[in-house]
Amino acid sequence: MAESLLSFFSLSEMGNTLIQKKSVLITTHVKPDGDAIGSTIGLATFLRSHGVATYIVLPSPCPDNLRFLDHEKELEVFDIERHQKLLESVDCFVLLDANDPKRTEHIAPYLQNFPRQVFVIDHHLDPKPFASAYLVDTLACSTCHLIADMIESIGYTMSFTTAQALYTGILTDTGNFRFDRTTPAVHRLVARLLECGVQPLDVYQSLFQQETLASMKLMGYALSHLELYHAGRLCIIPIRAQAFEQTQSTELDTEGLSACLLDIKGVALGVLITEIMTPEQTWVKLSFRSRGNISAQALALHFGGEGHFNAAGGREGNQSFDEVLQRIIELSGEILSVGEGK
């Protein structure tokens, strides 16, 4: 079905439709991020405060650092045994921050076969044809921004809980107000959310100041082993398997490390190389970042990788850590020679 055949709602059509329902079930994508959790809690608390019985089911657990948004302790991972009755009784099913049922994994068949109305509110490209109606704006910075606009379009104000959830999704999906879609309208909306009582410092501390001692020690290891090549334009952070033992950390603690690959002045391409050793196998996990017209993706392709032009990942199971390191240094020369990286 072509996109033009989908039924698109305006902000106020979606807002008026949802607020007139008796009951609404909300879900979002697997591995929910700040926008996914923020939008589900933002919409649920708004609708509930206006008399709509609202429920949330997630395809996978809420990350610990987003649980502060769940004031009513209502986030539950979907389980058909537990939620069958709910599925049979609610008036409609709403998917947020995703436009393809596949992104909800084990919830997908229930979304696709739901016998009453299904709605999508989202800001990603290329919505899949399965829902009754869509509220989509691919230029919106976040799903949370769309939900705030929807609430305001029908003349309602927001409670602190709703505003805090929506603020968090906007903050995380704009990369702390720095990505392309951080428009004047985003900042004007954020001003109104602060007027609802949102405290930026509280949100920041709850979201970001949640590191463990082990992850900070691993960060220390990473920074002290970082090296520059190609006249300071390539930055490599090598994490050898023994680093995990030394710092009592695990592979999960490498999550935030790629964020500092481009922090040194003049660096245009950065690679985090992590050696993963399990009893069964040893392999090398790769994370690539680049600036401007230098392609991180082009480098990732040499390692079975995928991703975006400036951020990609890959893995190598056949070569040793040192062989991969050498190969990256060699391949980077050419990639750096074709772009400015500004």
Binding site for Mn ion (CB under 5 A): 35, 97, 142-143, 173
Is the CB of residue 273 less than 8 Å from the CB of residue 284?
yes
Nearer to Mn ion, 189 or 237 (CB): 189
Helix (H) or strand (E) holding 282: strand 282-290
Nearer to Mn ion, 45 or 143 (CB): 143
Distances (CA, A) of 146 to 25, 96, 135, 187: 18, 10, 8, 14
| CA atoms within 13 Å, Cβ hemisphere of 254 | 22
Handedness of CA 231, 236, 242, 247 (dihedral sign): positive
Nearest partner of 32 among 76, 85, 79, 83, judged by Cα: 76
Smallest gap from Cβ 173 to Mn ion, in A, equals 5
Smallest gap from Cβ 304 to Mn ion, in A, equals 27
The residue at minimum Cβ distance from Mn ion is: 35
Smallest gap from Cβ 227 to Mn ion, in A, equals 35
Nearer to Mn ion, 143 or 290 (CB): 143
Nearest partner of 252 among 211, 288, 283, 282, judged by Cα: 211
Smallest gap from Cβ 147 to Mn ion, in A, equals 11
Smallest gap from Cβ 20 to Mn ion, in A, equals 26
Is the CB of residue 330 less than 8 Å from the CB of residue 338?
no
Nearer to Mn ion, 175 or 304 (CB): 175
Nearer to Mn ion, 173 or 253 (CB): 173
Any idea which residue has 């009582």 for tokens? 197
